[in-house]
Each structure stands twice: as structure tokens, then as C-alpha cells.
């Protein structure tokens, strides 16, 4: 198109700055209104909670050459039919109410849409990624650490375990594969996130290669049980190469005792991977990082910024104590992308990630750290952690509620003691979760812990207050 000429095709019109301008005003205004409504608690967390089949009736398929919806109708549909995570009474999954500025920066990222695999495809964002990684490794306490950003904690755990396997297998898994070698094993507590079992499946180790280590009454890994699990692996013919510790565990937010775990790993020659997808953000708080003592002794760490740093999904750091270990995951020659010796090529981030093309997750993260400062992240984290302790106190003080365990992060699991024992009580918790969601008053989730069903709340929103949680207990009682 010539400068100043009118677009002549629908495609040209669709890609024009004028089209963007026409769309952006109303959409941004609608998002602002959504935030205002959610935060004001004027409306429910959900507008009913339709079944998958009911939603299929509300969300038509059958696209055609011409549009089948207006933009405003479509945005309305998406907002109205989704749970509102910015609502202070959304206390369900560990998904964040994205920082509104981060959501805006996501728009910048989505528009630039650089490729990211090699420096040439996303130069500035690759350097931003390095700055974010430097900041994170320094928080862990690693002088020569390194790492990358990747698409989620599940992929992050897999990526770190691939590096662990290459370093600890005793043979070259990358080149030779697993055939004709002794089977390998991973040790992990019975509370570990399911992505660890999946990683074992993807890595060709099989689920049975994950040998469980016992947990205590607060769902934390028992370090003294590690030698037994190690022996169990050996006795079954598998050689243990790594131990995965949780900080915190997905179910209860419990934090495994990392220092004594690191002692065992050192002695047994195990790679220590800390799954901090949920709780590594506590490194931001001098008060709460104490519970993570020993984290600096890990070989690798997964840290989700889309959880307790409230980034839009997905935004995950995989960090290594030794920056060079990141290159152990994959050493491949894709000469059209990467040239020369990999170890010196920190700026080609795709050498160390499963992804080739990758979202520009460093942009909102770097952007918020730079333009908001670190303090607000610390404040939000401490709010959630402190509120969880307060909430646990309220539950303990109530006769008709039972706490699963004292919270160690921002997750609180508890039960409503209404009805008979056993199955009935489990059914009661399930009923309550469904009932509150359908009414839109609160969004909580369930967790099954040692065979019993609990209500599970993750306090991710700095706008959730003690009063909201008092109202939650009352809503449960009358549900």
C-alpha cells in the first residue's frame, strides 16, 4: 500500500492502524468497566456456572467467510461467561488477577510478537529476559546462575529435569536415548505436582520411576525418609538421579524443608530440583523467604511469575545454580537459527527452551518490575501470605470448621463440619464449592488430601480482605 492511500482489500483494512484505533477504545473501556465491576463486588464472581454442554449452546461455532459476531458482542460473551479473577471473592485456583498494567503490556508484546528463538528474532526482549533472570537468580543467592523463561511450570519442571538427566545419567541421553542403559528414577514427595509424573512419562522414564518420599502431618517431605526411598529405587533396579522438592506444594502450599533435603541430595549425589512454581515468589519477602532456607543449594528451580507475581499467563522462569546447566537440556544444531558455540550464546534463548517461537513473556515482567518497582510485588505477596494466616486463625476459632494444616503460603485448606462423618462430609465440601460458584458469591476449589475432601482457597488478590473471608465462612454455613 502506498503511503497515504486507502486500503483496498478487507485484509488491508483489517491490518490498518485505523482499525486498531476503532477497536481499541471500546475494548479498553469494556475491560476498565469489567475491572471496576469485579473489584466493587457489585456483581458475582460468576454469572452462574453453566455446564460444558450449556456453554456449547452459548458459544456458537461454524465460522464463515464473513463475521459471525460483532466485536463488542464477542468481548461481552468472553467476559460474562468467564469467572472473574479480579473479584476479591475469587479465592479458588492459584491463578492470578493479572496486574492491569501487565495486561496492557501484554498488548504491546502481542503486537510486537517477535519470535524469540534466536537473538535476531527478538533482540530487545531477549536482553530483557536476561535482566529478569539475573534479578531472579540474585534473589535465590546464586552468583553464577542463569536460566530462561518458558511457557508454564509444567514445561519448566520438564525442562529442568531434562538438564538434570543429562548431567546425572552417567551416559549421553541426548545422543543415545535411554535404551540399553539402566533405568533411572526420580524421588519426590507424594504431594508433588502432577507435572512431575508427566515429565517422567515424557522423558520415557515412566510414572513408576517417580519414587514417593513420605510427608508429615503438614504435607511436607520428610527428609529422613529420603535414604529409604533411594534404596527402594535401587532395589527396583532404577538408579535415582534427582529429587524434586516443593515450595510450596500445590495442594496445601506446604514448603518442604529444603536445607535438610539438600544435605541428603549432596550425600547421595542427587540433583535437587525445587518446584517453586507456586511459592518461589516468597523470595521477594525478607519475612517469608526464611521458610525457603536452603533453596540456594538447589541445582534448579521453577518459578511461575503468573502465579504470585500476577503476570498474565504464562510466565515461568527455569533457573539453574550453574548457568551452563541450562545448555544441558538440548544441544542440537539448528544452523539456520543458531551459529557457533552454544555456551557463549546466552542471547539465543531458544537453545535452552522446548519452545522455538515463544511468547514475549519478558516484556510485561520486565516492564512491571521497571515501571512499578519491586515493592508492590512484595506487598501483594505479603498480603496474601499474612491473610492466609489470619484466615486459618478464623477457621481454628470456629467450632464448625476444621483446618487441614497451618498454612505456609497463601493457600488454606479446610472443611465444613456439617453433616455426618466419612462420605457425607466429603459430599458436603463438594456441594458447597458447586453451590457458591453457581450463586456467584465465591469461587473456591476442592482438594483431596489423604483421601479426604477439603475446600481449598488460594489468596492471590491484594483486594481480598478479612471481611471477604468472614463472609465466605458465613456463605459456606448457609449453603
Ligand X SMILES: *Cc1c(COP(=O)(O)O)cnc(C)c1O
Min dist. Cβ of residue 304 to ligand X (A):
5
**According to the binding rule CB under 6 A, does residue 154 interact with ligand X?**
yes
With the CA atoms of 296, 300, 306 and 312 taken in that order, what torsion angle do they form, in degrees rounded to the nearest 10? 130
**According to the binding rule CB under 6 A, does residue 167 interact with ligand X?**
no
Q: Which three cell numbers stand for residue 110?
A: 502481542
Burial (CB < 10 A; 0-12, 13-18, 19+), residue 371, is exposed
Q: What is the DSSP letter of 352?
A: G
Q: Which stretch binds ligand X (CB under 6 A): 101-109, 117-125, 274-282, 467-475?
A: 274-282
**According to the binding rule CB under 6 A, does residue 429 interact with ligand X?**
no
Size of residue set near ligand X by CB under 6 A: 14
Residue closer to ligand X (CB basis): 83 or 153: 153
Q: Are the C-beta atoms of residues 462 and 380 closer than 8 Å to each other? A: yes
Q: Which stretch binds ligand X (CB under 6 A): 18-26, 137-145, 272-280, 461-469?
A: 272-280
- Phi first, then psi: give them for residue 242, nearest 5 degrees: -150, 155
**According to the binding rule CB under 6 A, does residue 165 interact with ligand X?**
no
**According to the binding rule CB under 6 A, does residue 152 interact with ligand X?**
yes
Residue 283 C-beta-side C-alpha neighbours within 13 Å: 23
Chain position whose Cβ is nearest to ligand X: 153
**According to the binding rule CB under 6 A, does residue 195 interact with ligand X?**
yes
Q: Which stretch binds ligand X (CB under 6 A): 78-86, 152-160, 256-264, 358-366?
A: 152-160
Site pattern 299..318 for ligand X (x: CB under 6 A):
-----x---------x-x--
Residue 406 C-beta-side C-alpha neighbours within 13 Å: 5
CA distance 412 to 107: 34
**According to the binding rule CB under 6 A, does residue 243 interact with ligand X?**
no
Q: Which of 44, 92, 97, 153 touches ligand X by CB under 6 A?
A: 153
**According to the binding rule CB under 6 A, does residue 278 interact with ligand X?**
yes
CA distance 254 to 477: 27
Q: Which stretch binds ligand X (CB under 6 A): 58-66, 151-159, 363-371, 402-410?
A: 151-159
Residue closer to ligand X (CB basis): 44 or 153: 153
**According to the binding rule CB under 6 A, does residue 444 interact with ligand X?**
no
Q: Which stretch binds ligand X (CB under 6 A): 101-109, 147-155, 320-328, 390-398?
A: 147-155
**Residues across the chain:** 479
Burial code (b: 16+ CB inside 10 Å, e: under 16) for 309-347 equals: bbbbbbbbbbbbbebebbbbbbeeeeeebbeeebeebbe
**Is the N-terminal amide bond of 325 cis, ω within 30° of 0?**
no
Q: Which of 250, 252, 353, 429 touches ligand X by CB under 6 A?
A: 250
**According to the binding rule CB under 6 A, does residue 246 interact with ligand X?**
yes
**According to the binding rule CB under 6 A, does residue 323 interact with ligand X?**
no
Residue closer to ligand X (CB basis): 47 or 198: 198
Min dist. Cβ of residue 187 to ligand X (A):
16
Residue closer to ligand X (CB basis): 193 or 238: 193
Residue closer to ligand X (CB basis): 277 or 284: 277
Residue closer to ligand X (CB basis): 225 or 275: 275
Give the DSSP per-residue string, 248-295.
S-TTT--B--HHHHHHHHHHHT-EEEEE-TTTGGGGG-TTTGGGGTTG
Q: Which stretch binds ligand X (CB under 6 A): 51-59, 137-145, 236-244, 270-278?
A: 270-278
3-state SS, residue 335:
coil
Q: Which of 34, 86, 193, 220 touches ligand X by CB under 6 A?
A: 193
Min dist. Cβ of residue 285 to ligand X (A):
18
**According to the binding rule CB under 6 A, does residue 277 interact with ligand X?**
yes
Q: Are the C-beta atoms of residues 403 and 412 closer than 8 Å to each other? A: yes
Q: In DSSP terms, which residues pair with 443 in a beta bridge? A: 90
Residue closer to ligand X (CB basis): 137 or 246: 246
Nearest Cα residue to 349 out of 121, 26, 134, 197: 121
**Is the N-terminal amide bond of 298 cis, ω within 30° of 0?**
no
Give the DSSP per-residue string, 175-216.
HH-STTS--EEEEEETTS-HHHHHHHHHTTS-GGGEEEE-B-
Site pattern 68..107 for ligand X (x: CB under 6 A):
--------------------------x-------------
**According to the binding rule CB under 6 A, does residue 150 interact with ligand X?**
no
E-assigned strand segments in 385-440: 401-403, 411-416
Q: What is the DSSP letter of 443?
A: B
Q: Using CB under 6 A as the criterion, which residues of the chain lie in contact with ligand X when the complex forms?
A: 94, 152-154, 193, 195, 246, 250, 275, 277-278, 304, 314, 316
Amino acid at each position: 500500500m502506498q503511503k497515504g492511500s486507502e486500503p483496498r482489500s478487507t485484509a488491508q483494512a483489517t491490518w490498518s492502524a485505523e482499525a486498531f484505533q476503532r477497536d481499541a477504545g471500546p475494548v479498553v473501556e469494556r475491560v476498565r468497566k469489567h475491572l471496576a465491576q469485579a473489584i466493587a463486588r457489585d456483581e458475582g464472581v460468576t454469572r452462574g456456572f453453566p455446564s460444558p454442554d450449556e456453554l456449547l449452546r452459548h458459544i456458537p461455532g461454524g465460522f464463515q467467510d464473513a463475521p459471525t459476531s460483532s466485536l463488542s458482542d464477542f468481548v461481552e460473551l468472553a467476559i460474562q461467561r468467564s469467572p472473574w479473577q479480579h473479584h476479591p471473592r475469587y479465592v479458588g485456583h492459584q491463578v492470578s488477577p493479572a496486574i492491569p498494567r501487565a495486561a496492557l503490556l501484554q498488548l504491546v508484546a502481542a503486537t510486537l510478537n517477535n519470535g524469540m528463538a534466536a537473538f535476531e528474532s527478538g533482540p530487545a526482549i531477549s536482553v530483557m529476559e536476561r535482566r529478569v533472570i539475573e534479578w531472579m537468580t540474585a534473589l535465590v543467592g546464586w552468583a553464577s546462575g542463569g536460566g530462561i523463561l518458558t511457557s508454564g511450570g509444567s514445561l519448566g519442571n520438564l525442562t529442568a529435569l531434562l538438564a538434570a538427566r543429562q548431567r546425572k545419567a552417567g551416559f549421553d541421553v541426548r545422543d543415545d536415548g535411554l535404551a540399553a542403559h539402566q533405568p533411572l528414577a526420580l524421588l519426590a514427595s507424594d504431594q508433588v505436582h502432577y507435572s512431575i509424573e508427566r515429565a517422567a512419562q515424557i522423558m520415557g522414564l515412566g510414572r513408576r520411576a517417580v519414587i514417593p518420599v513420605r510427608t508429615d502431618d503438614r504435607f511436607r517431605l520428610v527428609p529422613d525418609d529420603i535414604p529409604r526411598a533411594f534404596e527402594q529405587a535401587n532395589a527396583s533396579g532404577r538408579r535415582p538421579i534427582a529429587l524434586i522438592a516443593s515450595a510450596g506444594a500445590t495442594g496445601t502450599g506446604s514448603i518442604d524443608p529444603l536445607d535438610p533435603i539438600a544435605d541428603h541430595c549432596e550425600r547421595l549425589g542427587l540433583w535437587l530440583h525445587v518446584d517453586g512454581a507456586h511459592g518461589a515468589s516468597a523470595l521477594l519477602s525478607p519475612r517469608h523467604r526464611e521458610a525457603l532456607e536452603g533453596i540456594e543449594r538447589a541445582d534448579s528451580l521453577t518459578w511461575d511469575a503468573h502465579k504470585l507475581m500476577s503476570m498474565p499467563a504464562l510466565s515461568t522462569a527455569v533457573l539453574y545454580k550453574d548457568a551452563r546447566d541450562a545448555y544441558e537440556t538440548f544441544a542440537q544444531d539448528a544452523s539456520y537459527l543458531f551459529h557457533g558455540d552454544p555456551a557463549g550464546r546466552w542471547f539465543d534463548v531458544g537453545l535452552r527452551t522446548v519452545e522455538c517461537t515463544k511468547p514475549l513473556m519478558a516484556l510485561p515482567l520486565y516492564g512491571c518490575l521497571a515501571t512499578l518497582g519491586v515493592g508492590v510485588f512484595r506487598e501483594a505477596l505479603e498480603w496474601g501470605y499474612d491473610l492466609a494466616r489470619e484466615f486459618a486463625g478464623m477457621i481454628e476459632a470456629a467450632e464448625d470448621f476444621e483446618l487441614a494444616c497451618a498454612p505456609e503460603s497463601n493457600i488454606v485448606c479446610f472443611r465444613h463440619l456439617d453433616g455426618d462423618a466419612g462420605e457425607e462430609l466429603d459430599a458436603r465440601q463438594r456441594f458447597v464449592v458447586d453451590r457458591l460458584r453457581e450463586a456467584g458469591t465465591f469461587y473456591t476449589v476442592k482438594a483431596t488430601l489423604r483421601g479426604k475432601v477439603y475446600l481449598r482457597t488460594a489468596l492471590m488478590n491484594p483486594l481480598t480482605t478479612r471481611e471477604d473471608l468472614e463472609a465466605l465462612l458465613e456463605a459456606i454455613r448457609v449453603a
